[in-house]
Amino acid sequence: MAKKKIRTSQEVNAGSMADIAFLLLIFFLVTTTIASDKGILNILPPKQDPDQPPPEVELNERNIFNILINANDQLLIEGEFRTTTEGLSNEIKSFILNFGNPDEDNLALYNGLPASLRALALRSPESSDYPGAGGAVVSIKTNRGTSYEIYLEVLDLVKKAYFEIYGERVGLTAEEYRALTGNTAAEVELQNRGKEGIPMAISIAEPDKTGS
């Protein structure tokens, strides 16, 4: 059977082509984002007044987690010589959450933590007293000859420890916690709940001048 074709018009209806083009235009307008600015955020300490020497902060040795990096990119972590940063993040986590000698407020903070984080608290008298600026400080000291890359690697691991704690407190992964933008009230609430009582106490010391 031969097919019967009826030739109606030879022209394709091009009226909707404009709509298709518009769709394309809008699609590109919406999806085109300029490469976003990402990085590790660091808040510098306020500037020093030459007339007023910085206040002497009395911190017990047990409350400071010392990380020293020399000009050969070798690490001295809590007095122990290392060449790699392996496992550093977990050590910092248990240092922050040690709760060796908490006061009442911090005891309440401890009781409010999820069980998985409470398990990290060894309550060792040799480690930090409580999380926070006066109780658990991570100190990073570099040399002028230290490479920027290893410094960032260490800073990255310290941040990782904090973000994992924050995330775990609110039931998110560290990744999800970092992705919170703070644009909505719910996200701000999550962010605040994560870091409440455990501020990031990272001290970056002036680098040594020797050996650069």
Q: How far is the CB of 32 from other proteins (least distance, A)?
A: 8
Applying CB under 8 A, which residues contact other proteins? Answer: 11, 14-15, 17-18, 20-22, 24-25, 28, 34, 36-48, 142-149, 151-153, 155-156, 159-160, 163, 174, 178-179, 181-183, 204, 206-207, 212
Nearer to other proteins, 99 or 163 (CB): 163
Take residue 40 and report the two structure tokens written for it. Answer: 């590790």
Q: How far is the CB of 60 from other proteins (least distance, A)?
A: 27
Nearer to other proteins, 37 or 61 (CB): 37
Tallying the residues shown for the chain, one arrives at 212
Report d(CA 152, CA 69) in Å as an integer: 11
Q: Hey, is 211 helix, strand or coil?
A: coil
First to last CA, the chain: 91
Block residue for tokens 């941040």:
159
Report d(CA 109, CA 171) in Å as an integer: 16
Q: How far is the CB of 160 from other proteins (least distance, A)?
A: 5
Q: How far is the CB of 102 from other proteins (least distance, A)?
A: 27
